[in-house]
Amino acid sequence: MRKITAFILISLLLINTLGGCGKQSGVNTVKKSDEEELVINDTHSDDGRNIIGISMPSQSLERWNRDGQFLKENFEKAGFEVLLSYGNDLIDEQIDGIEYMLESGADLLIITPIDASSLENVIKKAASSKVPIISYDRLILRSPYIDYYVSFDNYLVGKLQGEYIVNALDLANSDRSYNIEMVSGDPADNNARFFYDGAYDVLSPFIESGKLIVPSGQSDFFRTSTSSWSKELAKERFENILNSYYASGKTLDAVCCANDSTALGTAEAIEMDYTGENTVILTGQDADEANLINIKKGKQTMTVFKQLSNESIVTLDLAIAMLKGDNPGEDLIERANWPFECKFDTTSYDNEKETISAYLLTPTVITKDNMYEELVGKGYYEEDAAGNLIAK
């Protein structure tokens, strides 16, 4: 394996990485110049450690800060050199970061794409240098060079959101109809479609039978989608929906919201523009700290929690096997004996070039009733002085 003489990080990482969740990486770096985004630290010895390049999409959402942190810590503990960069929600910035990793001699890349279909060329470059690729959490599309995919069962995430709504409204036993709206994720993120399909497959029989009504008429994936998972865009769209379809006093019973950033925007719109007295059932995903506060206050009803440190452990064990030259499958799960559920899937994730073998973890529903037990009790979050849950 190649050796490394320079330790390269993207300056954004250094400036912002930790801002998102307030944690420190302890990496010492020198900023080269204000114009240049590169920061070079020459302090690492030429010790022959394998280099892992980790490219995360942005720091604007809480979770990617946590993912970056967990991956970095786990790989460093296992003796790897880590180059971590954040794409700042900008495709070119993500590509630049990956190119720097390749130039620095990365031995394996872990990438969460901002736009699933925009990394084709840089991935080709990696493949021509025989650098293997793990698509992390989100699948990279249209490239024949993706070795593995590690994620949660994304269809199940949506299914849990849909089932939550069906049970909360007791649709199977009730003879009245309810009003629902959909807020979907970013169409550039392959997961967004899985979340939508998982939820919609549960909800659509009730929509067809008339037990669920979508007063805005906006129910398909694209009409309900939210670019960049933006809280502000979700809020804007939902204000329009409330002012156009609910202003005359129509009751809004539930919103099937794909993740927590869009749920925050939707909750704000409901707070400002909804005139009904009822508590609107509102779903989410990621167990972001602000959303857990909203769940406690009753402004959001549930979120789907994905244990990110487990996702990074699967990624680490997979990377170690790949770097040893193995071609792991189901056997990795048997050998690793992780204390959490994970399944090997070779059929669900077609990236438009081939079907990618995936390791999929299992998400958990979090509500007001189980949040302390599941998040604090299991050691993933701690309670601060104000009683809010802070991710560890």
- What's the min distance (Å) between Cβ of 339 and ligand GAL? 22
In the bound state with ligand GAL, the residue whose beta carbon lies nearer, of 156 and 242, is 156
In the bound state with ligand GAL, the residue whose beta carbon lies nearer, of 143 and 291, is 291
CB contact at 8 A, 182 and 256:
yes
CB contact at 8 A, 4 and 82:
no
Q: Using alpha carbons, select from 14, 37, 32 the residue that is nearest to residue 24.
A: 14
- What's the min distance (Å) between Cβ of 363 and ligand GAL? 9
In the bound state with ligand GAL, the residue whose beta carbon lies nearer, of 257 and 281, is 257
In the bound state with ligand GAL, the residue whose beta carbon lies nearer, of 74 and 285, is 285
Strand partners, 203: none
Q: E strand or H helix at 263, and its extent?
A: helix 260-273
Instruction: Give the C-alpha separation, 105 to 3, whole Å.
Output: 7
Binding residues (CB under 6 A) for ligand GAL: these are: 61, 63, 137-138, 185, 189, 191, 229, 259, 285-286, 306
Tokens of 35: 């114009």
Closest-by-Cβ residue to ligand GAL is 191
CB contact at 8 A, 114 and 100:
no
- What's the min distance (Å) between Cβ of 220 and ligand GAL? 19
- What's the min distance (Å) between Cβ of 260 and ligand GAL? 8
In the bound state with ligand GAL, the residue whose beta carbon lies nearer, of 61 and 332, is 61
- What's the min distance (Å) between Cβ of 261 and ligand GAL? 6
In the bound state with ligand GAL, the residue whose beta carbon lies nearer, of 86 and 178, is 86
Contacts of 174 (CB under 8 A, 6+ apart): 211
Alpha helices of 277-383 — where are they, by DSSP H?
289-297, 308-323, 330-336, 371
- What's the min distance (Å) between Cβ of 245 and ligand GAL? 26
